[in-house]
Amino acid sequence: MILYIDMEKKFLTEHDANQYSPLSLAFLGDSVYDTLVRAYLLRIANMPVSKLHSVKIKLVCAEFQSDAYERLVEYLTEKELAVLKRGRNATGNTVPKHADAAEYRRATALECLFGYLYLTGQVDRISGLFEIVISDVSIDSEAL
């Protein structure tokens, strides 16, 4: 899976990417993750957009991302774990009604990692981690 990136702007060094707050990295990572989910769903299921959206919501919610956080931990490098922990420990202002605070923090951590990897140009690593995240997903065609 390949993400297309504006090549006019060079990637950041790890040092420069670390200068961003974890919540800023999560802001970007949310979009990166969402785009990966949308592309994945489009490739596996040709269905009306309303159904694609319904399935997407299940894969981008805090509960699913929190579970993905748990699945990824064992595959991460020390640097990636440090970014993940920064994201998990970041304090935001709100927690969605449908998630508890711990789930929301783990979901933010996952998004923070994806944002960091994107900024540093590690798109192959993003793809590999996303494959792990999505590997246990089964889309029930009858539920669609």
- What's the gap between Cα 72 and its chain centre? 11
Pick the closest to residue 101 from 91, 111, 110, 112 (CA basis). Answer: 91
CA distance 135 to 143: 19
For residue 140, indicate whether it is catalytic. Answer: no
What 3-state DSSP class applies to 83?
helix
Instruction: Work out the angle at residue 46's Cα, subtended by the Cα atoms of residues 67 and 138, and round it to the nearest 5 degrees.
Output: 30
The torsion angles phi and psi of 117, rounded to 5 degrees, stand at -65, -35
Catalytic residue, from 6, 16, 30, 67: name it.
Answer: 30
The catalytic residues are 30
